[in-house]
Amino acid sequence: MSRPPSPRTRLRRAHARGRHDRETIDAALDAQPVCHIAYLRDGTPAVLPTLQWREGDHVYWHGSSASRALRAQDGAEVCLAVTLLDGYVLARSAFHHSVNYRSVMIYGRARRIEDPGRKLRHLETFFDRLLPGRWPTLRPMTEQELKATAVLRLPIEEASAKIRTGPPVDEEADYALPIWAGVLPVREVIGTPVPDPRNPDGVEPPEALRVSRTG
Amino acid sequence: MSRPPSPRTRLRRAHARGRHDRETIDAALDAQPVCHIAYLRDGTPAVLPTLQWREGDHVYWHGSSASRALRAQDGAEVCLAVTLLDGYVLARSAFHHSVNYRSVMIYGRARRIEDPGRKLRHLETFFDRLLPGRWPTLRPMTEQELKATAVLRLPIEEASAKIRTGPPVDEEADYALPIWAGVLPVREVIGTPVPDPRNPDGVEPPEALRVSRTG
């Protein structure tokens, strides 16, 4: 499924890197929960770093109901970005140095989920995506906690992806230079779990304990 | 050195995580080049993912002189965010799950560097920070390439850092539950360099080849 680009999502430069198909967009969203959301606060641009998750044709994020950022975003135009840095691209000239990356940009109007039942189901899905199997093992959420939590969503409609992969692209004459060129790959890794010192004796991490999505 | 927080950088929630001292702000900026810059484009919020570097009391970024984003940012109010995800914090309740992170937010007016000589020196410093020792080994930048490159900067004045570390903080009654709690550490690693297939025979990566700053 692919939508025609809007004036905001059409890429004016480096067209070859631009993609508008949902498969590419969804794969990047699903690979990295960290996102940055630009919004207007008192008339000036602000950015909120938070975690996103995708359900079908929407991306979701959550936070405190008291959060100024989430209050300002509700009903407002936002721009949500997910960025995965995949490598530093070392060329023979400074100019052609680059990075390998997967990047998604979604523009649109954010809306708060009002219904408590739906809100709870979305939070459960968030856990299922990030920490599969953990939600059912937890002390259930109280009504008070649910009230204190806001969930917002944004349709994946006006969206684009941008991807760069592979070696540097140098000026033809520069390839003969005795300069090492190539890629320094970057990735995010999950280390050994660090148990809370207050865990009761004998409580072991479940085998399923892992972060399912990491780029 | 610490400045009093402005209305935009004063933290209204989770005050304990907020910091305004330059040492903390600079350490986070220097640990992660990836940044997200919120700005206004045609009246709506947009975000640019790019690489930043710090020189003294300013952060810098660069891009194509033809970039719509950089043109829109020049002389305009922006908000630059650097975010380092350090871990997923697993609590006994969904509500108290969190992330460990270091986050910096800088508000202000971005300005383009006009003087070509200054621009070149800033780009060299960018390389020195990210890829120490590489700049002098490269084919020198041409006048044309320098013209095609824009460098912008933002003063580190209206800035704040936010940091969370350590185990989850649960409701006192929940600590007795037989639920594993703790932290899944996250970090960014640089993999083995992948040589460009077009490297001339015998060209080896210099020993200094490394990314100096990674969180």
Q: Classify residue B11 by burial, with Cβ atoms within 10 Å: 0-12, 13-18, 19+.
A: middle
Q: Which of B131, B168, B179 sits opposite A203 (nearest CB)?
A: B179
Q: Which structure tokens are listed for B158?
A: 């209206």
Q: What is the mean pLDDT of chain A?
A: 92
Compute the mean pLDDT over every residue in chain B, rounded to the nearest whole number: 92
| Complex ipTM | 0.92
Query: Which pLDDT band, with edges at 50, 70 and 90, does B208 fall under?
Result: low
- Is the pLDDT at B214 greater than 60? The verdict is no
At residue A66, the pLDDT reads: 96
Say if residue B90's pLDDT is above 60: yes
Look at residue A212 and tell me whether its pLDDT is greater than 60. Answer: no
- A106 vs B209: CA distance, rounded Å: 36
| Residue-level pLDDT at A17 | 80
Name chain A contacts of B45, Cβ cutoff 8 Å: 38-40, 45, 77-79
Model pLDDT, residue B15:
59
**Residues ≥6 apart with Cβ < 8 Å to A65:** A147, A148, A149, A150
pLDDT of residue A9 exceeding 80: no
Q: Give the range among A4-18, A118-132, A156-170, B47-61 with minimum mean pLDDT.
A: A4-18
Cα A161 from chain centroid? 12
Residues A171-192, buried b or exposed e (16+ Cβ, 10 A)? Answer: eeebeebebbbbbbbbebeeee
pLDDT of res. A214: 47
Q: Give the pLDDT band (50/70/90) at residue A18.
A: confident
Interchain contact A203–B (C-beta under 8 A): yes
Token couple for A117: 């039942």
B90 touches chain A (CB under 8 A): yes
Taking the C-alpha atoms of residue B93 and residue A209, their distance in angstroms, rounded to an integer, is 15
Asked whether the predicted pLDDT for residue A72 surpasses 90, the reply is: yes
The pLDDT confidence band at residue B171, using thresholds 50, 70 and 90, is very high
Which tokens in the block code for residue A39?
């919004």
Asked if the Cβ–Cβ distance from B90 to A131 is below 8 Å, we say yes
Give the tens place of pLDDT for each residue, B72-87: 999 999 999 999 999 9
Partner residues linked to B105 by β-bridges = B81, B160
Residue from B119, B134, B199, B201 whose CB has the most chain A CBs within 10 Å, to mutate? B199
Q: In this predicted structure, what is the pLDDT of residue A195?
A: 96
Q: What confidence score (pLDDT) does residue B11 get?
A: 62
Alpha-carbon span B172 to B168, nearest angstrom: 11
Q: What percent of chain B has pLDDT over 70?
A: 91
Cβ–Cβ under 8 Å, residues A52 and A80: yes
Testing the interface with B: which of A139, A142, A188, A204 to mutate, by most B Cβ within 10 A? A139
For residue A101, which residues of chain B lie inside 8 Å, CB to CB? 49
Mean pLDDT of A10-38: 87
Q: What is the 3-state secondary structure (H, E, C) of chain B?
A: CECCCCCCCCCCCCHHHEECEHHHHHHHHHHCCEEEEEEEECCEEEEEEEEEEEECCEEEEEEECCCHHHHHHCCCEEEEEEEEEEEEEECCECCCCEEEEEEEEEEEECEECCCHHHHHHHHHHHHHHHCCCCHHHCECCCHHHHHCEEEEEEECCEEEEEEECCCCCCCHHHHHCCCCCEEEEEEEEECCCEECCCCCCCCCCCCCCCCCCCC
- Residue A114's identity, in one-letter code, is E
Least confident range from A46-55, B5-14, B88-97, B128-137: namely B5-14
Domains of chain A: 15-85+100-166 (2.30.110.10)
The length of chain A in residues reads 215
- When CB atoms are compared, the residue of B177, B182, B211 closest to A88 is B211
Chain A 7-66, CB below 8 Å of chain B: which residues?
Answer: 8, 12-13, 34, 36-42, 44-47, 49, 51, 64, 66
Residue A205: predicted pLDDT: 82
- Structure tokens belonging to residue A115: 């219904």
Q: Residue A186 above 50 pLDDT?
A: yes
Residue range B82-99: mean pLDDT, rounded: 98
Is the confidence at residue B96, as pLDDT, over 70? yes
Contact B91, A139 (CB under 8 A): no
- Give the Cα separation of A97 and A103 in Å (integer): 18
Q: How far is B89 from chain A (nearest CA, A)?
A: 10
Q: Is the pLDDT of residue A15 over 50?
A: yes
What residues of B are in contact with residue A66 (Cβ under 8 Å)? 13
Residue with the larger pLDDT of the pair B109 and A20:
B109
Residues of A in contact with B37 (CB under 8 A): 47
At B205 the pLDDT is 82
On the question of pLDDT at A100 being above 70, the answer is yes
pLDDT category, A35, cuts 50, 70, 90? very high
CB neighbourhood size of A156 (10 A) = 20
